[in-house]
């Protein structure tokens, strides 16, 4: 029997990532990138809907995807901290997407072969999208890292700043995915002439237990405001 | 079947042009083949030369490949 909170966590990762990426709409550095980011946000939202719907069924309390997305507070969200961090600049967005997709891709690969038929069908669909997200983020990481002095500085800064948050992805049953994740990420960083940050030191976590950064409640306030103001309305 | 021109886009290089085209024009459908070409590499015939280019062909019906029966089973001609 698949665990409700486990599926909820995967769904929350995708939902919060989608919300952050959607904030780029009409603000990306070029029109084509605007469309690419919206595309990726739509993919993440699509996966979030499937996972949250399934989580609601696992819970057995008649909560729909909308109930779970709009009527939970930050303490009941189980996403990793990485996805809730603010975008700040394009390099941060690409570093986040690189770290997230390099994690989601092998995770969905694994879940696609899991005994849970429903989860494996969702993962089989999502992993193709993750492969595209990883490709996109890798390309931009190399482009910025191996671009100008300024883009290199920003990309390195983004990687350094986000690296501590990646440890949380490999808590518990995902621990063995880190080797594969590192192989993917280290190759991209090397290609991008970037320095791979050292491990150890500060390793923030707690997202899976509902202990978030201060950024999540602001994100949820914006995401949930209409639903909170008109509870029970049909859209 | 043949590649069909579906539009134009701006990109810093061919690699990103491919990815942009995939998002803009194909919605990432599987089994679709994309070609990208920088506009500078395309030479087009001029409308001023239209007569010289196309008229000689139009009045000689034997130039048109319509007198041949296509054998059955020969697809994609």
Of B10, B11, B23, the CB nearest to A39: B23
Residue-level pLDDT at B58: 67
Tell which residue, A49, A70, A83, has the closest CA to residue A212: A83
Are A36 and B9 an interchain contact pair (Cβ–Cβ within 8 Å)?
no
Distance CA A98, CA A109 (A): 17
Q: Does residue A159 fall inside a structural domain?
A: yes
Q: Does residue A106 fall inside a structural domain?
A: yes
Residue-level pLDDT at B77: 59
**Positions of chain B with pLDDT lower than 50, given as ranges:** none
Structure tokens at B40: 């500078």
Best mutation target among B13, B23, B34 (most A Cβ atoms within 10 Å) is: B23
What proportions of chain B, in percent to the nearest 5, are helix, strand and coil? 40, 0, 60
CA A6 to chain centre: 15
Q: A132 contacts in B (CB within 8 Å)?
A: 28
Q: B15 contacts in A (CB within 8 Å)?
A: 139
Which residues are CB-neighbours of A162 under 8 A, at least 6 positions away? Answer: A82, A85, A92, A95, A96, A99
Count the domains in chain A: 1
Supply the range of the domain harboring residue A193: 3-229
Distance CA A211, CA A21 (A): 22
Q: Does residue A135 fall inside a structural domain?
A: yes
Which residues are CB-neighbours of A134 under 8 A, at least 6 positions away? Answer: A98, A101, A102, A105, A184
Distance CA A40, CA A181 (A): 20
pLDDT tens digit at each of 235 positions of chain A? 579 999 999 999 999 999 999 999 999 999 999 999 999 999 999 999 999 999 999 999 999 999 999 999 999 999 999 999 999 999 999 999 999 999 999 999 999 999 999 999 999 999 999 999 999 999 999 999 999 999 999 999 999 999 999 999 999 888 999 999 999 999 999 999 999 999 988 999 999 999 999 999 999 999 999 999 998 889 9
Alpha carbon of B1: minimum distance to chain A alpha carbons (Å):
25
Q: Where are the strands (E) in A38-187, listed by range? A: none
Please tell me if residue A136 touches chain B, with a CB cutoff of 8 Å: yes
Distance CA B19, CA B35 (A): 11
Cα distances (angstroms) measured from residue A126 to each of A43, A110, A157, B32: 8, 12, 30, 19
Residue-level pLDDT at A153: 98
Residue A216 is inside which H or E element, if any?
helix A215-229
Chain A residue with minimum CA distance to B22: A36
CATH, residue A205: 1.20.1260.10
Burial (Cβ within 10 Å: 0-12, 13-18, ≥19) of residue A21: buried
Q: Does residue A34 fall inside a structural domain?
A: yes
204-233 of A, contacting B, C-beta below 8 A: none
Are A36 and B19 an interchain contact pair (Cβ–Cβ within 8 Å)?
yes
Alpha carbon of B45: minimum distance to chain A alpha carbons (Å):
30
Residue-level pLDDT at A143: 95
Tell which residue, B11, B5, B3, has the closest CA to residue B38: B11
Q: What angle do CA A192, A196, A202 make, to 5 degrees?
A: 140
Reported as half-sphere exposure (CB side, CA atoms, 13 A), residue A65 has a value of 14
Q: B19 contacts in A (CB within 8 Å)?
A: 36, 135-136, 139
Residue-level pLDDT at A1: 54
Q: Does residue A148 fall inside a structural domain?
A: yes
Residue-level pLDDT at A166: 98
Q: Does residue A61 fall inside a structural domain?
A: yes
Structure tokens at B13: 């290089």
Q: Does residue A235 fall inside a structural domain?
A: no
Best mutation target among B16, B18, B21, B26 (most A Cβ atoms within 10 Å) is: B16
Chain A residue with minimum CA distance to B13: A143
Measured in Å, how far apart are chain B's first and last C-alpha atoms? 9
Q: Does residue A91 fall inside a structural domain?
A: yes
């Amino acid at each position: 029997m698949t665990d409700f909170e486990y599926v909820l966590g995967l769904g929350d990762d995708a939902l919060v990532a989608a919300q952050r990426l959607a904030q780029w709409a009409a603000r990306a550095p070029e029109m084509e990138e605007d469309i690419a980011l919206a595309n990726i946000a739509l993919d993440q939202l699509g996966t979030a809907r499937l996972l949250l719907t399934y989580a609601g069924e696992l819970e057995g309390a008649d909560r729909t995807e909308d109930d779970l997305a709009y009527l939970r507070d930050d303490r009941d969200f189980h996403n990793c901290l990485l996805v809730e961090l603010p975008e700040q600049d394009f390099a941060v967005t690409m570093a986040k997407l690189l770290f997230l997709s390099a994690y989601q891709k092998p995770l969905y690969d694994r879940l696609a072969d899991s005994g849970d038929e429903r989860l494996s069908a969702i993962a089989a669909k999502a992993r193709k999208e993750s492969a595209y997200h990883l490709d996109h983020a890798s390309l931009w990481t190399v482009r910025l890292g191996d671009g100008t002095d300024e883009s290199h500085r920003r990309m390195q800064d983004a990687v350094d700043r986000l690296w501590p948050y990646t440890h949380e992805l490999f808590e518990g049953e995902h621990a063995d995915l880190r080797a594969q994740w590192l192989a993917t990420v280290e190759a991209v960083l090397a290609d991008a002439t970037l320095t791979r940050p050292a491990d150890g030191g500060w390793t923030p976590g707690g997202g899976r237990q509902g202990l978030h950064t201060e950024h999540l409640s602001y994100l949820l306030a914006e995401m949930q405001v209409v639903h909170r103001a008109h509870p029970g309305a049909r859209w | 079947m043949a590649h069909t021109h579906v539009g134009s886009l701006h990109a810093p290089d061919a690699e990103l042009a491919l990815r942009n085209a995939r998002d803009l024009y194909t919605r990432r459908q599987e089994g679709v083949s994309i070609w990208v070409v920088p506009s500078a590499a395309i030479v087009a015939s001029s409308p001023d030369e239209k007569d010289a280019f196309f008229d000689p062909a139009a009045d000689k019906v034997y130039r048109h490949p319509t007198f041949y029966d296509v054998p059955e089973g020969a697809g994609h001609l």
